[in-house]
Amino acid sequence: MKQFDMGDNKVAHNLNGATFFVELPTKGAFYPEEHPFYNKEKIEVKMLTTKEEEILTNTSYIQNEVVIDKLLENIVLEPNFNPKEIFNADQLAILIATRIDAYDEEYPVLLDCEACGAKIEHTISLEKVLDNVKESTIEKTDHGTLIVELPKSKKTVEYKVLLPADIASIERSVDKMKKMDIKTNFLDEFYKRIIVSVDGSPDPQEKSSLIKNLKIKDSRYLTACYSKSLPDIDTTFTATCPSCQKEQEGGMPFQANFFFPEF
Ligand SMILES: [Zn+2]
């Protein structure tokens, strides 16, 4: 069993109501049983205080690109929470909900027009972004796995979605095996970890035979389905240039004023 032990959980729980709940886009459905978010539709988050402001302005955290992880570690109140062990959509929902709670649901962004280079001032409604959860169309099971039929072999594959930390661990073990002259590649190891059953059978032999003989078309299909497995927050917005009137589309950028709005 994988442990989600991140050492001491420093968060005090007598916060006198200074917390709120964030709805998880995944509803906790795809997490392993021992995960703090497992089957949780909502999680409790601490409101931002000057302590979090110190984290957000810590230059060494910013330089080492750990500032968001440090913030999440501090505000997410679920026991044994590890910021590297959550799905992207859930992370985004926590950050957006925290920003709305701390300041405002309006997020002004400054963009460059792709056509004429003029500055575009655009305001994003963060409430709308939070509501814009796109569900996956892949068939789900009751125990957080997904099911697809491969187009070439017609085999039915049940698979699970890995946490970001699991992907990193596959990369490390593939590197290690290559150094030991064991013939392998990322995709083979990835399939070994995600595939739960083949045509309803959890037999490891079935699994390795499927992986060994996987046709390109089936492999592409499986990875394409995998990438669309989870609910996602669609942050796409359209802004119009005030100079040339051209419309441009983009995903929500994280600019400095996301957590430091100017008053
Ligand atoms: Zn323009």
Taking the centre of ligand 1 as the mean of its atom positions, its distance from the CA of residue 113, in whole angstroms, is 5
Q: Is the pLDDT of residue 15 over 90?
A: no
Taking the centre of ligand 1 as the mean of its atom positions, its distance from the CA of residue 253, in whole angstroms, is 19
Q: What is the mean pLDDT of residues 161-171?
A: 91
Q: Could you give the CA distance from residue 247 to residue 80 in angstroms, rounded to a whole number? A: 45
Q: What is the mean pLDDT of residues 245-262?
A: 89
pLDDT at 2: 43
Taking the centre of ligand 1 as the mean of its atom positions, its distance from the CA of residue 108, in whole angstroms, is 18
Q: What is the mean pLDDT of residues 238-259?
A: 92
Q: Is the pLDDT of residue 11 over 50?
A: no
pLDDT at 260: 84
Q: Could you give the CA distance from residue 128 to residue 12 in angstroms, rounded to a whole number? A: 32
Taking the centre of ligand 1 as the mean of its atom positions, its distance from the CA of residue 238, in whole angstroms, is 13
Taking the centre of ligand 1 as the mean of its atom positions, its distance from the CA of residue 131, in whole angstroms, is 29
* pLDDT tens by residue, 120-162: 999 999 999 999 999 999 999 998 999 999 999 999 999 999 9
Helix (H, G, I), strand (E, B) or coil at 253: coil
**Residue linked to tokens 């655009």:** 122
- Residue 156's alpha-carbon distances to 92, 226, 250, in angstroms, are 32, 14, 36
Taking the centre of ligand 1 as the mean of its atom positions, its distance from the CA of residue 125, in whole angstroms, is 22
Taking the centre of ligand 1 as the mean of its atom positions, its distance from the CA of residue 247, in whole angstroms, is 8
Taking the centre of ligand 1 as the mean of its atom positions, its distance from the CA of residue 261, in whole angstroms, is 25
Q: Which residues contact 37 (CB under 8 A, 6 or more apart)?
A: 24, 26, 28, 31, 43, 78, 86, 90
Q: Could you give the CA distance from residue 136 to residue 145 in angstroms, rounded to a whole number? A: 12
pLDDT at 164: 87
Q: Could you give the CA distance from residue 93 to residue 99 in angstroms, rounded to a whole number? A: 10
Taking the centre of ligand 1 as the mean of its atom positions, its distance from the CA of residue 244, in whole angstroms, is 4
Taking the centre of ligand 1 as the mean of its atom positions, its distance from the CA of residue 123, in whole angstroms, is 17
Taking the centre of ligand 1 as the mean of its atom positions, its distance from the CA of residue 119, in whole angstroms, is 8
Average pLDDT, the chain: 91
* pLDDT tens by residue, 180-224: 988 888 999 999 999 999 999 999 999 999 999 999 999 999 999
User: 119: closest CA among 109, 128, 134, 127?
Assistant: 109
pLDDT at 12: 46
User: 28: closest CA among 40, 20, 36, 17?
Assistant: 40
Write the DSSP string, 75-88. Answer: HB-STT--GGGS-H
Helix (H, G, I), strand (E, B) or coil at 222: helix
Q: What is the mean pLDDT of residues 95-102?
A: 95
Q: Are 82 and 9 a contacting pair, CB within 8 Å?
A: no
pLDDT at 14: 60
Q: Where are the alpha helices (DSSP H) in 103-215?
A: 126-131, 164-179, 186-194, 204-212
pLDDT at 165: 87
pLDDT at 13: 56
Taking the centre of ligand 1 as the mean of its atom positions, its distance from the CA of residue 126, in whole angstroms, is 24
Taking the centre of ligand 1 as the mean of its atom positions, its distance from the CA of residue 13, in whole angstroms, is 50
Taking the centre of ligand 1 as the mean of its atom positions, its distance from the CA of residue 99, in whole angstroms, is 29
Determine the residue type at 133: V
* pLDDT tens by residue, 84-93: 999 999 999 9
